[in-house]
A and B are shown apart, each in its own frame.
Chain A
Amino acid sequence: MGDLLFSITEWLRSTPLNEFALAMSESPLTLWMVTQFWAIPILQIVHILSIAASFAAVLMMNLRIFNLAGHATLAETAQRYTKVLWWSLAVVILSGVLMLFGDTVRNLLNSIFWIKMALVVFGIVVALAFTKGMRRRVATTGEVVGGGTKATAVFLVILWCVIMACGRWIAYAPA
Chain B
Amino acid sequence: MSYYPEPTNIWESIEYSSLGTTIAESTWMFPTIETLHVIALVTVIGTIALVDLRLVGVKGHALRVSQLAKDTLPWTWGAFGLAALTGGLLFISKASSYMINPYFLWKMGLMALAGLNMLYFHLTTWRTVEHWELDPSFPGMAKLAGWLSLIFWLGVVFCGRLIGFTLGIYY
Cβ-defined contact, B63 with A164, below 8 A: no
Which A residue's beta carbon lies closest to that of B46?
A: A56
From B35-43, B106-114, B135-143, the one touching the partner chain is B35-43
B131-171 contacts to A, CB under 8 A, are 154, 157-158, 161-162, 165
The answer to the question of B126 belonging to the interface, with a C-beta cut-off of 8 Å to chain A, is: no
The answer to the question of B21 belonging to the interface, with a C-beta cut-off of 8 Å to chain A, is: no
Q: How many residues of B contact A (CB 8 A)?
A: 30
Residues on the A chain within 8 Å of B42, using CB: 48, 51-52, 55-56, 164
Residues on the B chain within 8 Å of A59, using CB: 43, 46-47, 75
Q: How far is the CA of A72 from the CA of B63 in the complex (A)?
A: 6
The answer to the question of A30 belonging to the interface, with a C-beta cut-off of 8 Å to chain B, is: no
- B21: min CB distance to chain A, Å: 19
B157 interface neighbour in A48, A55, A70, A83, Cβ under 8 Å: A48
Residues on the A chain within 8 Å of B157, using CB: 45, 48-49
Residues on the B chain within 8 Å of A53, using CB: 46, 49
Q: With A71-B70, A168-B38 in contact, do A76 and B46 touch (Cβ < 8 Å)?
A: no
Q: How far is the CA of A45 from the CA of B41 in the complex (A)?
A: 12
Q: Mark A35-72, 1 if CB is under 8 A from B, else 0.
A: 00000010011001101111111011001000001111
Cβ-defined contact, B71 with A71, below 8 A: yes
The answer to the question of A80 belonging to the interface, with a C-beta cut-off of 8 Å to chain B, is: yes
The answer to the question of A161 belonging to the interface, with a C-beta cut-off of 8 Å to chain B, is: yes
- A152: min CB distance to chain B, Å: 20
Residues on the B chain within 8 Å of A57, using CB: 46
Residues on the A chain within 8 Å of B39, using CB: 161, 164-165
Q: How far is the CA of A45 from the CA of B157 in the complex (A)?
A: 7
Cβ-defined contact, B46 with A52, below 8 A: yes
A71 interface neighbour in B34, B63, B165, Cβ under 8 Å: B63
Cβ-defined contact, A76 with B75, below 8 A: no
Cβ-defined contact, B62 with A41, below 8 A: no
- B49: min CB distance to chain A, Å: 7
Q: How far is the CA of A151 from the CA of B77 in the complex (A)?
A: 25
Cβ-defined contact, A72 with B62, below 8 A: yes
- B151: min CB distance to chain A, Å: 13
A141-164 contacts to B, CB under 8 A, are 161, 164
Cβ-defined contact, B62 with A49, below 8 A: no
The answer to the question of B31 belonging to the interface, with a C-beta cut-off of 8 Å to chain A, is: yes
B161 interface neighbour in A44, A63, A80, A168, Cβ under 8 Å: A44
Q: With A41-B162, A48-B157, A72-B61 in contact, do A168 and B46 touch (Cβ < 8 Å)?
A: no
Cβ-defined contact, B161 with A71, below 8 A: no
Which A residue's beta carbon lies closest to that of B36?
A: A165
Residues on the A chain within 8 Å of B34, using CB: 168
A to B CB contacts below 8 Å, 25 in the list: A41-B161, A45-B158, A48-B38, A48-B42, A48-B45, A52-B46, A52-B49, A54-B46, A55-B42, A56-B47, A59-B46, A59-B47, A59-B75, A60-B47, A60-B72, A69-B71, A71-B67, A72-B62, A76-B62, A80-B60, A80-B63, A83-B60, A161-B39, A168-B34, A168-B38
Q: Which A residues lie at the B interface, using CB under 8 A?
A: 41, 44-45, 48-49, 51-57, 59-60, 63, 69-72, 76, 79-80, 83, 161, 164-165, 167-169, 171-172
